[in-house]
């Protein structure tokens, strides 16, 4: 059952990227921007607590 869900998710992602590449690119860009924001926040926190 676990393999079926995994393959279904992979198939959906491939289908989404093929049918709507602009939307897929926007989602990836937003995810990377979010990770960048989190990294900057953690970096600022560590810098402020270390000094």
pLDDT in tens, the chain (51 residues): 789 999 999 999 999 999 999 999 999 999 999 999 999 999 999 999 976
Residues contacting residue 16 through CB under 8 Å, at least 6 positions apart: 23, 24
Q: Residue 6 has what pLDDT?
A: 94
User: The domain containing residue 17 runs over which residues?
Assistant: 2-50
Q: Residue 20 has what pLDDT?
A: 93
Q: Residue 51 has what pLDDT?
A: 66
User: How many structural domains compose the chain?
Assistant: 1
Q: Which residues of 17-37 are buried (b: 16+ CB within 10 A; e: fewer)?
A: eeeeeeeeeeeeeeeeeeeee
Between CA 24 and CA 13 the distance in angstroms is: 9
């Amino acid at each position: 059952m676990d393999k079926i869900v995994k393959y279904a998710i992979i198939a959906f992602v491939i289908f989404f990227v093929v049918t709507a590449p602009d939307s897929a690119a926007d989602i990836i860009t937003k995810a990377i921007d979010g990770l960048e924001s989190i990294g900057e926040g953690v970096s600022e926190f560590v810098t402020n607590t270390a000094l």
